[in-house]
Amino acid sequence: MKKSLPAPAWCNSTAASSTAARRWLANVSVRWLTLKRSRATLAALLLVGLTQLEAHSAELPSFAQVRAAHQVSEAWLYDRNGEVLDTLHLDPNAYRLPWIPLRALSPAMRHALLVSEDKRFYQHGGVDWRAFVGAAWENLVYDTHRGASTLTMQLAGLLDPALAWSPGGRSYTQKWDQIKAARDLEKTWSKAEILEAYLNKVNFRGQLAGINAAAEGLFNTTPLKLNKAEASILSALLRGPNARPAVVAERACGVAHQLSAPRPSCASVRKLADTRLAQRAQLNWPIQLAPDIAHQYLLAPGERIQVSLDAKLQRLAQTTLNSALDSLKSPLPVAGEALILNNQTGEILASVSRSATPGTINLTSVPHAPGAMLQPFLYGLALEQGELSAASVLDDAALGVNSDAPQPGWLARDPALTHWASLRYALAQSLKGAAARTVLQVGIDNYTNQLQDFGLESTHTVQPDAPTVTLTQLTNAYRALANGGLLKPTSLRVGGTPNEASRVMPASVAAILTQILADRQAAPDTQPRPRDFAAVKAVNLWQSKRQLAHRVF
C-alpha cells in the first residue's frame, strides 16, 4: 500500500489562514520534486551497480575452510572414561561453542530465521532485488532505515572484514561489494551451507556468537530443541542484538505471528523475552569437578584434555570430604583434602579439597604437618638396619637428654603412659617417646635420606611439626609400602607414567609394615582416659593412619 503525504495541520483548524495554505503547497511541490530526483538517482545507482557486479576481487573462503577455522571459546577437561569434568571459558571476547550442522537445528528456528530475515532465500541468487529496491525507495521517500540484506549478503559481511557492518553503516561502495560477494557465494556454496555458516558465525546478543552459544546461554538448551517462542526471540535479536528486551519482544511477536500453527501467543513470547533478556548473556557451566586441575592443564580455547581422574570417584571423594568437614560443626572455616591413587599404575583417580578461603588451589599439593604419619618409614629404616625386629619392645619413656633444657614439642609425652611397648603397638599408637629413641638409633641423617628416597623431599620432615609434606607425597610414599618397597611417580596421565619403579625399601620390611598398618588388633579400640591427652592424640593419629592404610592397601 502506497503511503500518502501527511495532511497539513491547517486542514483541521477552523482558523486556517491563506498564508499557511500557500506555505504547505510550496512544501508539497518541493517534496515531489525531490522524489522525482530520488527516482532518477536510485535508477542511476542500480545501473552503475549492475554493470560492476562481476568486478568483486576479494577471494572468499570455501565452506570447508570456514568450518575448519571455527574456533571455540571454551576448553574441556575429561575424565578417564570421557565424561566432562570441567569447562573453562578462555576467550574474553566471545562465547563460541562447537560448530552446529544444519541437521542439528530445530525446524522452528529455521522457519523463524527465514521469516524474519530472508523470506525469498530459496528464490534469489544472493540478492533479493525486489526487497532491495523497495527498501531503498522507502529510505529515500519516507526517511526510514529499512534494510534489505539477504542472509547471503549478511554472511558475506561476516566473512570479509572489509564488508563488516559498522555503527555508521556501510558506504555505497561497501554495499555494492557486499552484493557482489553474495552473488559469488551463491555460485560456489549451497543454500544449506550458507544457512549453516550464517547461524554459526552471527552474533545474537552480548558475547553470544553462533546459534549453539545463543541457545545455551539464553535458554539453557540445544539448537535442536529450540521451540517456536525461543526461535522467534533469537531471530528478532538479529535485527538488534543489544536492543532493549521490550523492543526485542515486540519484534519477536511479529515473527511468531508469521510462523505456522500452532503459534506461540504474543503474551508468552513477551514474558519469555523479558525473563531471558533481562539477565546478562553468558554461559555458566554447572559441572566443576576439578577446577584446580582444569586451570592447570587447560591453557588455550578449544583444548580437550583427558586425565586419569574418575568422575564417579571424584564426586564420591568430594561428597565424603564435605560431609566429614561439615560434621565438625566448627564456627570457623575448615579445610581438608582427599586423594585416591591406583596402587599399580600411580594414576590419580580422585583429587579433591576444600579450602577455608575461596580459590582454585588444590590442597593436596600444599605442604602440611605430617605428624606421626612418618613413623612407618622410621621403623622401616630401623628394621632394615637391624636395630629393631618385629618382636622388639621399645622404651616409650621421655628422653632424659639434657633434662634441664625444655624438650621440643614433638618429643613431649604424658608420663602417665606405660614406658614399654611392642613395635607393633608403638607404631599403631604413634608413641612419641619410642619414635624419638628410634630416630637417635638410626641416625637423623639416615632418617632424612630415607624420607627423601620415598619422595618426601623436605630436609625438615624429621620434625613432625614442620608443615613440609604434601598429601600427594605422603600418599605415594604409603603406596610404595603397599607395593613392596617400590616407588613410582604419581600421574594424571591415563595409564600412568612409563617411568620404571625404584626400590626404596626391602620387600620383607615393607611386608612387616603393611601387615602392622592393616591390623585392626594392633591397638585396642578403647577410649583413653580424659586426662591422657597424649594418648588421645596418639589414638587419633593412629585412626587417621589406619583410615589411610585402608585406602592404600
Q: 60-76 pLDDT, tens per residue? A: 899 999 999 999 999 99
Instruction: Let me know if residue 5 belongs to a domain.
Output: no
Instruction: Identify the three-state secondary structure at position 277.
Output: helix
**Domain contains 65:** yes
Instruction: Give me the residues paired with residue 491 across strands.
Output: 347
Report which of residues 209 and 143 the model is more confident about.
209
Q: CA torsion, points 48, 54, 59, 60, in degrees to nearest 10?
A: 90
Grid cell 604419581 is found at 490
Nearest CA among 144, 176, 135, 169 for reference residue 46:
176
Kindly report which listed range (93-102, 220-229, 319-328) carries the lowest average pLDDT score.
319-328
Q: Please give the Cα distance from 496 to 489 (Å, whole number).
A: 8
- Establish how many alpha carbons lie within 13 A of residue 54's alpha carbon, considering only the half-sphere containing its beta carbon: 1
Q: What pLDDT shows up at residue 202?
A: 96
Nine cell digits for residue 303: 583444548
267: CATH: 1.10.3810.10
Do both 144 and 253 map to the same domain? Answer: yes
Number of separate domains in the chain: 4
Q: Is residue 104 part of a domain?
A: yes
Of 301, 329, 359, the residue that ends a domain is: 359
Which is nearest to 202 in space by CA: 152, 248, 155? 155
Q: Based on the domain organization, do 470 and 522 belong to the same domain? A: yes
Chain center to CA of 8: 62
C-alpha 6/C-alpha 28 separation (Å) is: 10
pTM of the model: 0.72
Is residue 383, in this structure, part of any structural domain at all? Answer: yes
Residue 195 in domain: yes
Contact yes or no for 135/147 (Cβ under 8 A): yes
Between CA 24 and CA 5 the distance in angstroms is: 11
DSSP 209-256: ESHHHHHHHHHSS-GGG--HHHHHHHHHHTT-TT--HHHHHHHHHHHH
- pLDDT of residue 547 exceeding 50, the answer is no
Residues 155, 68 share a domain: yes
Which conformational region is residue 206 in: left (phi greater than 0), alpha (psi within -120 to 50 degrees), or beta?
left
Last residue of a domain, one of 28, 51, 74: 51
Residue 6: pLDDT band (50, 70, 90) is very low
Note the pLDDT tens digit of each residue in 17-41.
455 545 544 454 444 444 444 444 4
pLDDT digits (tens, 9 = 90+) for 496-525: 988 889 999 999 999 999 998 887 776 554
CA distances to 12, 24, 81, 225 from 15, rounded to whole Å, are 9, 15, 87, 63
Q: What is the CATH number of the domain that holds 399?
A: 3.40.710.10
Average pLDDT taken over every residue of the chain: 79
Provide the residue type at 246 as one letter: A
Q: 16 or 371: whose pLDDT is higher?
A: 371
Q: State whether residue 155 is helix, strand or coil.
A: helix
Q: Does 57 lie in the same domain as 42?
A: no
Helix (H), strand (E), coil (C) string for 100-125: CCHHHCCHHHHHHHHHHHCCCCCCCC
- In this structure, what C-alpha cell is assigned to residue 272? 519469555
Q: Which amino acid makes up residue 313?
A: L
Tracing cell 517462542 back to the chain, one arrives at: 229
Return the residue matching grid coordinates 511477536.
253
